[in-house]
Amino acid sequence: MTEDQIQQLRSRATELLIREEWNESIQICTQLISLCESQIEDLNSELFFKIRKALALAYSNRAESWAKLKNVDLALSDCDSALAIENTHFKTLMCKGKILLGLHKYRLASDCFKLGLLESQANGNAEEINGCLEKCKRLDLLSKSGVIDLSSWVLSGFKGRIPELGEYISPVEISRSEISGRGLFAVKNVEVGGVMLVTKAVAVARGVVPELSENGQLVIWSSFVEKVMKCVENCSQVRCLVSFLSPGEDEDELEVPDIDMHRHESELSQSAITSVEKSKILSLLDVNSMVESVAPAKVLGTNGGLYGVGLWVLPSYINHSCCPNVRRLHVGDHVIVAASRDIKAGEELTFAYFDVFTPLPKRRMMLGAWGFECRCRRCQFEEGIASKMEMSEIEIGLERGLESGNVVFKLEESMKKWNLRGKEKGFCRASFWSAYAGTYGCERMMRKWGRLIPPKEVVVESVADAVGGDERILAVAVEGMKSGGTAYGGAAMVDLERAFKLGRGIFGKTMKKQAMKSLLSRAWS
């Protein structure tokens, strides 16, 4: 092999990289690597070092192409091969650092960028490297503190780039759950709005889908499955984490993974599983995928009408409850899980998998579609009063279009008769929330029923305490402040603080009060 042959192959590989023809570039680099490795032992010292340099560059270029094709395993392998030849190879250090940054390994990525900064080739790239180091530092800080501030983005009306978020895991653990299989549990007390998790999707697919268009949803689902398959095939880190997810059967036999394997400080996870059958992936996705725009979740920064489905691994361990204590907030491809009400240490984190602001019979119908039965405190309580004649009359009246104020009055009188207290009242009110919202939002109804039913503030706090924050509760609270003429002035500060607390139960502690006030103002308008 002559120097001319080496140069020709190197030039061709570089040309293909510039043209972003990744597969063709990989082929040329592979050819060059094969030629170099087959002859390197028989060369004289001068040509030996030239071949080693060419070999390191070939591995580096191939790593870059693999990275562009999202094949993380092969990209990292080629980076390591290049660095084994030349441990300070600038281009390779940059490539590996960016891959590790994408895997949320901020410390490992930072180490690569710091080494790259010391290299002579870094002189013309110092700004880029320092930018990468600053990003590592910023995301590492977020991943340790969980402090998120979306204020600027919210105040801009969600214009510009979506804020960059790092992976964050609060003091939680994965343990056996009395609800089903395994679950996530709080290790410490958490106030309403406390951020529990911030994590990026393994994959997400989105599209504008006409209402009730099953074909459109199937197209998006197919795209989503292919994206997940590609990630699982090409990244052992993802393959390892996904392999622990539930396929929806034999829940009690599943291994309880260590939460630390999800933390950014951990070393790269390796999976003994080299491949996963598509049928198993489909089973995992049927159970663990999440639709972004379902009622209990909130998507920031979209204009609506966008259907999205994704896989977020750690939130997949969160079980359902009809009196949930956490909510999802979607920001780009990240999901933020925040406390929708106060949570005690040892308490299991629970989502609402569907709209739980409905009576028990309707919730059971929806649970049937999910294939399980909910035995949460609320469901057990409502099951105990379901046989009462008054409850049956109220449910029938609501279904047949009984005036909403009358429904609320009958329910409140029945709760007095049954001597209900605390969260029990909140559970019942949540089940008939549509009647409460319809009454409090209608001047005619309030003129007729206002003196016979509790004030809005009492009902709002009761429901939020029982089933956590929800936009519909906030809407009634805000409308109450507006109609009372107390918006933002004088005595309104108490009401405003209540609204902020309700807002934290929906959006989490992710923005300053000015930004939260902006969201509340939109609710007023």
Q: Which residue has the tokens 């190879």?
A: 89
Statement to judge: residues 395 and 259 lie in one domain: no
**Which residues, in sequence order, are CB contacts of 30 under 8 Å at separation 6+?**
62
Whether residue 136 lies inside any domain: the answer is yes
- The CATH number of the domain holding residue 61 is 1.25.40.10
Q: Cα–Cα–Cα angle for 245, 249, 253, nearest 5°?
A: 75
Per-residue confidence (pLDDT) for residue 274, from 0 to 100: 61
Statement to judge: residues 290 and 179 lie in one domain: yes
Q: Are 121 and 482 in contact (CB under 8 A)?
A: no
Look at residues 309, 329, 351 and tell me which one is the last residue of a structural domain: 351
Statement to judge: residues 381 and 480 lie in one domain: yes
Whether residue 100 lies inside any domain: the answer is yes
Statement to judge: residues 244 and 310 lie in one domain: yes
Statement to judge: residues 63 and 196 lie in one domain: no
Per-residue confidence (pLDDT) for residue 304, from 0 to 100: 65
Statement to judge: residues 294 and 347 lie in one domain: yes
pLDDT in tens, 392-448: 999 999 889 999 999 999 999 999 999 999 999 999 999 999 999 999 999 999 999
Confidence of residue 211 (pLDDT cuts 50, 70, 90): low
Statement to judge: residues 471 and 337 lie in one domain: no
Statement to judge: residues 342 and 448 lie in one domain: no
Give the number of other CB atoms < 10 A from CB of residue 193. 23
Per-residue confidence (pLDDT) for residue 21, from 0 to 100: 95
- The CATH number of the domain holding residue 197 is 2.170.270.10
Look at residues 304, 330, 351 and tell me which one is the last residue of a structural domain: 351
Q: Which residue has the tokens 């911030």?
A: 198
Domain count, the chain: 3
Whether residue 153 lies inside any domain: the answer is no
Per-residue confidence (pLDDT) for residue 42, from 0 to 100: 63
Tell me the sheet residues that pair with 350.
319
Whether residue 337 lies inside any domain: the answer is yes
Closest CA to 353 of 341, 369, 335, 377: 369
pLDDT in tens, 268-294: 655 555 667 888 899 999 999 999 977
Look at residues 319, 351, 383 and tell me which one is the last residue of a structural domain: 351
Whether residue 23 lies inside any domain: the answer is yes
0.85 surpassed by pTM: yes
Per-residue confidence (pLDDT) for residue 481, from 0 to 100: 67
Whether residue 213 lies inside any domain: the answer is yes
Per-residue confidence (pLDDT) for residue 376, from 0 to 100: 96
Q: Which structure tokens are listed for 407?
A: 């429904």
Statement to judge: residues 337 and 379 lie in one domain: no
Residue ranges making up the domain that contains 372: 360-524
pLDDT at residue 524 is higher than 50: yes
Statement to judge: residues 130 and 172 lie in one domain: no
Whether residue 154 lies inside any domain: the answer is no
Q: Cα–Cα–Cα angle for 233, 168, 313, nearest 5°?
A: 35
Confidence of residue 212 (pLDDT cuts 50, 70, 90): low
Statement to judge: residues 95 and 205 lie in one domain: no
Q: Which DSSP symbol is given to 326?
A: E
Statement to judge: residues 273 and 216 lie in one domain: yes
Whether residue 212 lies inside any domain: the answer is yes
